[in-house]
Structure 1
Amino acid sequence: MRSCCVTDVGQKRTTNQDFVFASDTPVGPLPNLLIVADGMGGHQAGDMASRYAAEVIVSHIKRSRERNPIRVLRSAIETANERVLEKAAEDEELSGMGTTVVAATVVENYLYVANVGDSRLYLIRDHIRQITRDHSLVGEMVRAGELSPEQARNHPNKNIITRAVGAGQKLEIDFFDEDLRKGDILLLCSDGLSNMVEDEEIEKIIKSGRELPKIAMNLIERANRNGGKDNIAVVLAQPLTGEVEQC
């Protein structure tokens, strides 16, 4: 696998509440690990939530003896949910903090994904395809046929999410798995990218590039050029390269 990750504060925000993690080498029982987390909350709560949740996930996986990738991801995210709730309860300024999480691992030629919130994982093959489902108010409206994806991108309630790590004791996590082929590219991103750049434009940028770090920066630049209204997080990976080369 080859991967690359980058975040940017965007054009309108003063703090960066997005956090990214990418390891091409084993993390506990997993052969690799990719994470995007998009925090929420006042003061420093948002960036604390995203960073802390990701760190708990990585730490938990490093200690795990479970071999099933979905069970590994489930246990790690559930533990992160508990820890974020505990930390928020300890400090009044962190009250109400939470974060999205999309986490993925590739085992042999199979992709495993866990998702809470509206951060996304896309698979780019012949065309771009969103693997995750947005846990958001507008996402539910799109699935119900009440909004088009374009209307959702510009909807005044587009930032309202319906699930988050740290939002409550009961956490629902979506899981996905996909067969991969050589040449596939994975994109994990926060809504700072997907709200600013249409899927077709994302696909064009990815397919027109050759080096992952350059592609990642081109995606960031396009989101900022289109308004950069939020923090932007990008993780790119080429899973089936036969190489280990971390950007």
Structure 2
Amino acid sequence: MKLYAKTDVGRKREINQDYVYVTDKPIGPFPNLLVVADGMGGHKAGDFASKYTVKILREELEHTSLDKPEEILRGVVTKANHELIRAAHSDVKLEGMGTTLVAGTIVGNTLYFANVGDSRLYLINDKIRQISKDHSLVEEMVRLGGIKAEEAKNHPDKNIITRAIGVKEEVEADIYEYRLKKGDIILMCTDGLSNMVEDEDMFDIVKGARDIVEAVLMLIEKANSNGGRDNIGVVMAEPLADEVSSTW
């Protein structure tokens, strides 16, 4: 499997609160791990939130006694949420922090991932498809028929999220199981990319790039050239053909 991950502070922010992590080496029962986190909070609290959440996630994976990918993901997200809240209670400078999270693994030809917040997971093949559902106020408004999807893109409340790690005592992650097809490319990103670059432009950039490294760098460059109003975090994974044809 080909993997690449990178963050960029963007053009407007002084501190990079996005954090990404990828490995093609086993972590606990997972054969690989892909993570994107977008921290929030004053001063450096958001920076701490995203990094600490991924740290806890990795530690919990090493020690989990669960064996089903969906149960493992739900368990490690719950633990990360509790630990982030505990950290905030122990340091006044960290109060009010939180983070989005998209964390997943590819097992044979199946992608398993958890989502909390408005960071996203896309699949790119003959088209681009957003697989994750945003936990955001505007997404709720679209779902309830209050506004159209097109209106959500430029809505003044588009940055208000309805779920995050470390904000409430209990957090519900959406858990996905998705069967991969030959040629699928996985793109995970924070809203610093998805708010600045249209899905169709992401597709064109990825398809026009020589490899996933160039694709990630070009996506970040495009987000910055469009204004770079936020930190940008991007993870890309390209399973090899023989990996997609194997099973759990």
Q: Same fold (TM over 0.5)?
A: yes
For residues 25 and 222 of structure 2, what CA distance do their matches in structure 1 show?
30
Tell me the residue number matched to 2:23: 23
Per-residue CA deviations over 1:153-176 (Å, capped at 9, x if unaligned) read 222111110000001111111011
SS of the aligned residue for 1:171 comes to coil
* Preserved CA contact (<8 Å) 2:78 2:170: no
* Preserved CA contact (<8 Å) 2:17 2:40: yes
Greater shift in the superposed pair: 24-33 or 44-53: 24-33
Tell me the residue number matched to 1:130: 130
* Preserved CA contact (<8 Å) 1:109 1:240: no
Per-residue CA deviations over 1:178-231 (Å, capped at 9, x if unaligned) read 111121000000000000001111111111112111100000000001110000
Tell me the residue number matched to 1:171: 171
Matched, 1:99 2:114: no
> 1:58-77 counterparts in 2 under 5 A?
58-77=58-77
> In angstroms, what is the RMSD of aligned CA positions?
1.2
Per-residue CA deviations over 1:106-146 (Å, capped at 9, x if unaligned) read 11101111000000000112211111000001111222333
For residues 86 and 44 of structure 1, what CA distance do their matches in structure 2 show?
17
Greater shift in the superposed pair: 208-217 or 115-124: 208-217
1:151 Cα deviation from its structure 2 partner: 2.5
* Counterpart AA for 2:157: N
SS of the aligned residue for 2:50 comes to helix
SS of the aligned residue for 1:235 comes to strand
For residues 193 and 220 of structure 1, what CA distance do their matches in structure 2 show?
7
* Counterpart AA for 1:59: E
Tell me the residue number matched to 1:13: 13
What is the TM-score normalised by the length of structure 1?
Answer: 0.95
For residues 139 and 230 of structure 1, what CA distance do their matches in structure 2 show?
20
For residues 145 and 116 of structure 1, what CA distance do their matches in structure 2 show?
22
1:241 Cα deviation from its structure 2 partner: 4.1
SS of the aligned residue for 1:205 comes to helix
* Preserved CA contact (<8 Å) 2:73 2:175: no
SS of the aligned residue for 1:43 comes to coil
* Gapped regions of structure 2 (runs ≥ 5): 244-248
For residues 19 and 118 of structure 1, what CA distance do their matches in structure 2 show?
14
Tell me the residue number matched to 2:109: 109
What is the TM-score normalised by the length of structure 2?
Answer: 0.95
Matched, 1:237 2:234: no
Structure 1 residues 184 and 24, CA gap change in structure 2 (3 angstroms): same
* Counterpart AA for 2:109: N
Percentage identity across aligned positions?
54
Tell me the residue number matched to 2:146: 146
* Counterpart AA for 1:43: H
* Preserved CA contact (<8 Å) 1:2 1:241: no
SS of the aligned residue for 2:234 comes to strand
